[in-house]
Amino acid sequence: MRRERVRDLLARVADGTLAVDGALDELAQEPTESLGFATIDHHRALRQGFPEVIYGAGKTPEQIVAIAERIAARGDGVLVTRLSDEAAAAVQRALPLAEYNATARTVYLSSPVAPAPTRASLLIVTAGTSDLPVAEEAAVTAGALGCRLERLTDVGVAGIHRLLARREMLDAAGAIIVVAGMDGALASVVGGLARVPVIAVPTSVGYGASFGGVAPLLTMLNSCAAGVTVVNIDNGFGAAVAAARILHA
């Protein structure tokens, strides 16, 4: 149950539009719910402002649908990431209002009680076209968490004037996510130009000695520009959650 929803309940009790017993019933729901193969953390929305997001990899379509239905039944928004085609179809059948994003491989059902939009915007900067699926996972997640979004795409350092030409976008953002594979050098350059928090997402784009994203991961961890923090390879989702925490602060 999201914090917004609880606040709304309390407000309705305060102004008399909801009886105390009705509010009690809603609040009395168990914080965790066991499905045998899963223990859903319904309390997470209240604790951290967003419900448990379902990581689709390694779960069967049946498991994903069952968890998604239980979260939706609480009136919370539902976000599923890393979906196979088969699982995405199953979730869409179960939750017809949910939106499928084929690039990001996500399904998202918005909550009736949306989070307040952030004041400042999140800028997602991408080094190359091949990095777009990861950037899109970040965009869907950040959108679900109420972030306003800007994008700057395919501005890798092989042609650095593409970035310098749009420097005002770096100055305008409240937080920046940099998505880059191969050499990952874009994160350091952005980190040296920006004043705001920069979250770097290495991607598995590349070959040979990129070792599935290890090369840009190490580049970003060793960034000579201070103030850059890093998440796991291809983890657009995690970067967006961190950015949302920053922008909602």
Ranges within 155-194 binding a copy of itself (CB under 8 A) = 155-162, 164-165, 174-175, 182-185, 188-189, 191-194
| Nearest distance from C-beta of residue 26 to a copy of itself, angstroms | 20
Shortest distance (Å) from residue 59 CB to a copy of itself:
5
CB of 19 to a copy of itself, least distance (A): 29
Residue 75 · residue 64 · CB < 8 Å: no
Nearest CA to 31 among 12, 45, 19, 48? Answer: 45
Find the binder of a copy of itself among 14, 15, 16, 36 (CB under 8 A).
36
CA distance 228 to 216: 13
Cβ proximity to a copy of itself, 109 vs 174, nearer residue:
174
Name the strand (E) or helix (H) holding 106: strand 106-109
Contact set for a copy of itself, span 126-155 (CB under 8 A): 127-130, 132, 153-155
Tell me: does residue 124 bind a copy of itself (CB under 8 A): no
Task: Please tell me the chain's helix, strand, coil percentages from 3-state DSSP, rounded to the nearest 5.
Answer: 45, 20, 35
By CB under 8 A, name the one of 45, 53, 78, 122 that touches a copy of itself: 53
Query: What distances in angstroms separate CA 213 from CA 179, 206, 235, one per listed residue?
Result: 11, 7, 11
Q: Which is nearer to a copy of itself, 148 or 162 (CB)?
A: 162
Structure tokens given for 46: 């209240």
Which range binds a copy of itself by CB under 8 A, 5-13, 21-29, 90-98, 240-248?
Answer: 240-248
**Per-position x/- string for 100-119, each x denoting binding to a copy of itself as judged by CB under 8 A, each - no binding:** --------------------
Cβ atoms of 210 and 181 within 8 Å: the answer is yes
Contact flag: residue 52 with a copy of itself (CB under 8 A): yes
Q: How far apart are CA 229 and CA 159, in angstroms?
A: 24
Residue 29 binds a copy of itself (CB under 8 A):
no
Binding mask 209-228 for a copy of itself (x = CB under 8 A): xxxxxxxxxxxxxxxxxxxx
CA distance to 4, 49, 76, 196, 197, per residue, from 228 (Å)? 31, 24, 32, 10, 7
Ranges within 60-89 binding a copy of itself (CB under 8 A): 63, 67, 82
